[in-house]
Structure 1
Amino acid sequence: MKLFVNDTPVNFSSVHQPSSVQYDYVVNALAASMAETKLKGDVLVNYANHAYIKTALEYFSKKKVKNLDSITFAVADLEETVELVKGQFKIVKAGGGIVRKGDKVLLIHRLGKWDLPKGKLEKKESPVEGAVREVEEECGVQVTALDEICQTWHTYSRNKKKYLKRTYWFAMDCLDDSQMKPQIEEDIKEVRWMDTPAVHQALYESYFSIRYVFRQYYRKLERHSL
């Protein structure tokens, strides 16, 4: 489960599985409260219980922590913890994609950030069907879906209700971009083809979640699995 809370990457791991990841700060949740945890760089919280995690998620949802790159909660019961986290929210499913044409991919500019086209699935719609529909509606292009890249989860609130959006991301090929234009009613200001250097530059003005999707995309390209 790759979770983003207020665009902060939140990870879950097992205390029983040693990690090769290097962290800037390691905290023992049994000895320090959430308020005492130094939130800077990549943080690992060992032995985090459910109450600790719930407090942390509520904190992150209300405040963007400027210098925090990611936080990982190492727990004794990984599967149970993930299910309890999901249980705090109403789950919404969405689909989106990275569309390619030759050596370029398609990005949209929305709400001051470079982003990828995506949106909620309709009733009885499969993730790939919804992803294709959303991409075509938001960008005015025709596409065909290839393999799934990854899935992301992110939280948001609306009308005092808490939601957890599960987004399925697919690689796509462009079939026709002769009618390409941004869907203005979805606050999209621009749709642009970008080569790899331009994408890397645009990601400085994007979200952690979108950077993660692109990392997974490029890794799969390197392994020739897309």
Structure 2
Amino acid sequence: MRYAVGGGKRLRGFLVLETAALFGLPPERAISAAAAVECLHAYSLVHDDLPCMDDDDLRRGQPTVHVKWDEATAVLAGDALQTLAFELLCDPDLGSAETRIALVRGLAVASGAEGMVLGQALDIAAESASAPLTLDQITRLQAGKTGALIRWSAEAGAVIAGADAAPLRAYATALGLAFQIADDILDETGDEAQTGKRLHKDADAGKATFVSLLGLEGARQRACDLVAEAESHLAPYGDTAKTLIDAARFVIARDS
């Protein structure tokens, strides 16, 4: 479990802490929620890498869990990380029982059959589809597989603070899609030593991506437009949202 959560960008946990800071909450009030979403995300990667899913042998620059140990260990480590996530959301520092229940329910929805798991199921189904997915279909897929946890992460600070989460939800919706488009661009143009994972797998499998449908420059422009949209939703917070604006710009400028 510790091996699986090592490395990575920590974007989701970062969003939890930074959105909490918008409302004047110190890191210790939100750290358990940040750790929870990172555990949940790590579990999804461990299972996503299994031979029955994407069959990957490299993640974050190191052997995937099932390669380093075995498939059974990977399944159990992923299961344990998932349940740990919900244990962490029971931390009294996060607020009242009602607040903690809202966080638990939100993460369950974001990670389950209406969110991340749905996105993964659609992704697997696309491998045997008679025709490549359309742009609308890929957008829906990625809104679940990648976007749902990013949305929860950005909303969490507002939930803990008892504030309106709508602007942050809109910010995160645009950010999540920009993040995935950037991933597709990196899969086309990136370097495995920097990304820490195998590249060109979707293209080799004949799966449609944002790059294959929009072209490389079209995908870059769409990602830039989404970042601008994400920034616009932070206007109500003024200068206090500068770090979140920087995060949105980082999402499409990164090389891993």
Question: So what's the TM-score if we normalise by structure 2?
Answer: 0.27
Q: TM-score scaled by structure 1?
A: 0.29
Question: Which structure's CA Rg is the greater one?
Answer: 1
Flag the structure with higher strand content: 1
Query: Which has the larger helix fraction?
Result: 2
